[in-house]
Each structure stands twice: as structure tokens, then as C-alpha cells.
Amino acid sequence: MKFNIIYETILNSVSETVYVVDREMRIQYVNRAAGKLTGYSPDESVGKFCHDIFCEESYRCKDLCPPKQAMEKMSSILHREAETKTKNGDVRQTQISISPLCDEDVCTGAVIVVQDITELKKADERIRRQNTFLTAVIDALPHPFLVIDADTHSLKLANVAAYHGKLPEQMTCHELSHKTSVPCSSIDHPCPLEKVKSTGQPVMLEHKHYDANGILRDVEVHGFPIFDDEGKVVKMIEYSIDISDRNRIARERETLIVDLQSALHKVKTLSGLLPICSSCKKIRDDTGYWNILEQYISEHSDAEFTHGLCPECVRRLYPNLNLNESR
């Protein structure tokens, strides 16, 4: 099969491997790129069956032969992935496109274009493994971790700490965290995403979020912007730290401080010099009023009084009473 010099120059300039076969699957033409893929030069390839040179099988594929199918259907077969063997026994991952060569109602052969996608497949596999690894890392985080679309508030990613099971399509961050159909907008709950979009900077806010079990918790929300090539915020990374226990301890500490300050105030009211009458034992308060000793102490402390007589007063008031007999 002869080619015009212009056509041959064009075919030799492309990076993809090009074979032309007849109806018996014998190779009639090979461009220069074929040698780089299979290791067989054009002179070694022409005249041989295509499956002897680059097919993953060492024999004709019979009914499954793609060039045969293209010629029988008189239509192109595009983007079929296959393994292509090389001269030294290696196997390359390839993508094959086949177009029949037809003269009116009869197909005399086919053009086979083979593209080496081995490195692309390896790159895809590396990306798949990296995605699997990153997913495992994110799911291992104890805190809820989200990726949120900046325009729609919809969730693009959520770890298991944020949502159990498959994430519903178009679920928004406010639906997940606040059980509401509209984004946060109150003073107590400003929207982290809107702040990130307006400032282009990370933010940290305190919110109340429902956790994965539907329990309302105090959380510390951290938002980090993701930019496109033009510097626009297109997504936001959000993770939340549960601070419910921290806030509870802080409230208990504040209550304790108030109680201690109140107790200290009461103690201080009875400290220092108390003006007391040396005769009747009344105490003068800040207004100048003289209070009975028991009344003053009761009003300025938690002390309470019960009354009785000491032995000296009993003898003075009741001289005829025998104290030994009264015991």
C-alpha cells in the first residue's frame, strides 16, 4: 500500500502510533511512532499480522477482533482500551481508535491509531491511592471536617465525624449543623463562610451545632478559604472542635468565683474594729445605730444563736440553786 509523500510526512509527524491493515489483518503501513511504542521498526512490522506485533494476544482475536468489527459494521470504534505488547515482552496500556477503509460498499482494511496511556494510567492510580489515603486520614479526625461550596453552601466532602453514611446530594452546611434551610445570619451565629468570602482570611467563631448524633453542642468553628486561579474563594474547609465541656467548666468556675467573693465579702464585714459598748455590749453599725450583739452578728454572717446560762451567771442569778444537783 503506497502513500502520497505528503500523507506519509503527516503520519510520521504525529506522536500516536498508526497502523494500516488489510482485511486479513496484515499490516500494510506503519508510521515512525510505532517503533517507539512496540520496539518493532516499520520494516519489521509491514507484512506481519497485527496481532503478532502489538496485540495483547499472540493470535487473531477472531470474533472479538476490533478492526474486523469496524470493517463489518463500516463504522469507527473509538477509545477502546487494551494492552499492547512490545518486542522485549513488556506490556503497555494503550487506547485504540479504529476506522474502516471502505470503497463504496466494501471495506478493504482499517486504520488503527494506538496511543500509549501507560503513564496516564499510572498517574490515575497514584491519584486514586492518594485520594484513598487522604480520605482515610480525614475520616480518622475526631472533629467534624467539611469542604463547603462558596456559592451554594453545599457540602462537597464530610468525614464520618460530621456525617454517618453516604452524604446526601446538595446537603448544605446549615442543614447539617443547624437543621435549618437558610444560612446563618444572626449576631450570635454569623456565617463563617460569608466572613471567609468577605475577608479572604481564615476565621474562628463559636457556634452551637448539632453533632452526628443530633445533640446540640457548643463548638469552635474554624474556616479556611480555598481559592481558584483568579484568587476567588470557591470553597471553604471547615472543622469544628467541641467546647461544650470547656464552656461548662468555665461557667462552673465563674459561679464558684461569685460564691467565693460573696463569702469573702461577708467575712470582711466582721473584720477590723467593731465599736461595741463596754457595758451593754451593743455594736454600732455604719449608720450610727446601736444593735444588739446577736442581731448584728446574725445580719453580717451566717451564724445563728441559741441561748443559755453560763455557770457564773447561774450562781449570780440563782444563788440557791445547787449546780451539782442540776447536772
- C-alpha span between 171 and 166 (Å, rounded): 11
Between 8 and 128, whose confidence is greater?
A: 128
| pLDDT for the residue numbered 220 | 96
- C-alpha to C-alpha distances, 211 to 110, 225, 307, nearest whole angstrom: 62, 23, 60
CB 281, CB 246: distance < 8 Å: no
Between 83-97, 198-212, 233-247, 313-327, the lowest mean confidence (pLDDT) is in 313-327
Over residues 210-223, the pLDDT tens digits come to: 987 888 999 999 99
- C-alpha span between 319 and 301 (Å, rounded): 36
| 56, pLDDT greater than 70 | no
Domains 5-117 and 141-245 share a fold: yes
Mean pLDDT of the chain: 86
CB 265, CB 272: distance < 8 Å: no
Between 62 and 229, whose confidence is greater?
A: 229
- C-alpha span between 61 and 48 (Å, rounded): 15
Buried b (16+ CB within 10 A) or exposed e, 158-189: bbebbbeeebeeeebbbbbbbeeeebbeeeeb
Phi, psi at residue 273, to the nearest 5°? Answer: -90, 125
Helix (H) / strand (E) element for 156: namely: strand 155-158
Over residues 117-131, the pLDDT tens digits come to: 999 999 999 999 999
Over residues 229-261, the pLDDT tens digits come to: 999 999 999 999 999 999 999 999 999 999 888
The CATH architecture that domain 141-245 belongs to is 2-Layer Sandwich (3.30)
Which CATH code fits 5-117? Answer: 3.30.450.20
| pLDDT for the residue numbered 122 | 92
The predicted model gives 61-73 an average pLDDT of: 76
- All 3 cell numbers of residue 123? 498517574
Listed by start position, the domains of the chain span 5-117, 141-245, 270-327
- Going by pLDDT thresholds of 50, 70 and 90, the confidence category of residue 324 is low
